[in-house]
A and B are shown apart, each in its own frame.
Chain A
C-alpha cells in the first residue's frame, strides 16, 4: 500500500462527508466554514492521489475494498456535534502528522508543508466548536459528549504505522499517538467534557480501513459518490 493512497483517501472521504453538509449546516456561516474545509481536503486528496495514478479513476472506479482510508473519516455525519467530534479527532491527528512530515524532509515534506497551514485551521475550527458545544447548553454538552463517545473506538487506527511513513519521513507513530492524546485531552477537558474510556480499535479487529476493511455506511457513501462516473464511463467534464 502506498502512503500517498492512504493519506489521499483520508482526505477524499472526509471531504465527501463534509460536502454532504452543504445546505444543511446550522447557520450560513458554518456552512461556508465546512465547505471550506471540504475543499481544502479535496485539494489535498487530488495532489496525493495524483502521485499514485489517475485521480478520477482512483476516486470513482475503485471498489470499497481498494480504499485505504481510516474508518474514522467514513463515519456518517450524524448531528453537528458528531461531525465536530470526527473533525476534532481527525484534524488534530492530521495536523500533528503533517507537521512531522513537513519537518522530516521525506517524500511528502513539501506537500505536507503546504497542507499544514490548512489543517491548522481545520483543527482550530474543530477545537473552537468542541469548546462551545461542550461548555454551551445542557443539550449541546450532552450531544458533544455523545459524539466523542461514539467515535472514540475508531481513533486507535490513526496510530497504526502507515507503510512508507517510517522514521525516515519524520514520523514516530508512538510519539504521534501520545501527542494526539494530550492535545485532545486538553481540549476535551477545557470544554468541560470527559475523555471517553474504552478500547480504541475500529469495528474490524483484523486491521481496518488501511487494509481495505470498512464499516457498513461506507459502501452507501461510495455508491453515491461514484454513481455518475460509473453510469457514464469515460465521459469528460
Chain B
C-alpha cells in the first residue's frame, strides 16, 4: 500500500455549469495536481460539461483557528454605530 506522503490529500472546489462560484466539494488523494484534477472529475462532477474544477493541496490551506473565534468573528453588538440601522427608509423605496 502506498504511504500517505506519496498520495497527499487534495481539496476540491467545483463550479457547476450555471454556478457563480467555486464551492468546496470534498477531498481526495492523488499523487500530483494533474491526477487530482482527473480524479476530481470522476468523483465530483460525473464529467458534466462546462464545469470548472480547482484542486489545492490540503497543506496549502490555512484555516482560522477555533480558539480565536471570538476576536475573529464576534460582531461587537454593543457598538451599534457599526450597524447601519439609523436611517429612515422612505416608503417608495423598494429593494433596499
**CB-defined contacts of B43 to chain A, threshold 8 Å:** 29, 32
Which residues in window 19-36 of A have CB below 8 A to B?
A: 26-30, 32-33, 36
**CB-defined contacts of A187 to chain B, threshold 8 Å:** none
Which residues in window 68-96 of B have CB below 8 A to A?
A: none
Whether the Cβ atoms of B42 and A28 lie closer than 8 Å is no
**CB-defined contacts of A29 to chain B, threshold 8 Å:** 28-30, 35, 39, 42-43
A125 within 8 A of B: yes
Total interface residues on A, using CB and 8 Å? 13
What is the number of contacts between chain A and chain B, taking CB atoms within 8 Å? Answer: 29
B22 within 8 A of A: no
> Complex formed: what's the CA distance from A32 to B46 in Å?
11
Whether the Cβ atoms of B47 and A33 lie closer than 8 Å is no
Whether A33 touches B29, Cβ cut-off 8 Å, given contacts A27-B7, A128-B34, A128-B35, is no
- Chain B interface residue number, banded: 10 to 19
Which residues in window 121-143 of A have CB below 8 A to B?
A: 121, 124-125, 128, 132
Whether the Cβ atoms of A132 and B31 lie closer than 8 Å is yes
Please tell me which one of the listed residues B29, B34, B38, B47 contacts residue A27 in the complex, with CB atoms under 8 A apart: B29
Whether the Cβ atoms of B38 and A32 lie closer than 8 Å is no
Minimum Cβ distance to chain B for residue A114 (Å): 13
- Contact flags A105-132 to B (C-beta < 8 A → 1, else 0): 0000000000000000100110010001
Minimum Cβ distance to chain A for residue B53 (Å): 14
Whether the Cβ atoms of A27 and B2 lie closer than 8 Å is yes
Minimum Cβ distance to chain B for residue A7 (Å): 22
- Contact flags B54-66 to A (C-beta < 8 A → 1, else 0): 0000000000000
Minimum Cβ distance to chain B for residue A177 (Å): 28
Whether A128 touches B2, Cβ cut-off 8 Å, given contacts A29-B43, A32-B43, is no
**CB-defined contacts of A26 to chain B, threshold 8 Å:** 2
Given contacts A36-B47, A124-B38, 15 further A-B pairs with CB under 8 A are A26-B2, A27-B2, A28-B29, A29-B29, A29-B30, A29-B39, A29-B42, A29-B43, A32-B42, A32-B43, A33-B38, A33-B39, A33-B42, A36-B42, A132-B35
Which residues of B are at the interface with A, using a C-beta cutoff of 8 A?
2, 7, 28-31, 34-35, 38-39, 42-43, 47
* Sample (14) of A-B pairs whose CB atoms are under 8 Å apart: A27-B7, A27-B29, A28-B29, A29-B28, A29-B30, A30-B39, A32-B39, A32-B43, A33-B42, A36-B42, A124-B38, A128-B34, A132-B31, A132-B35
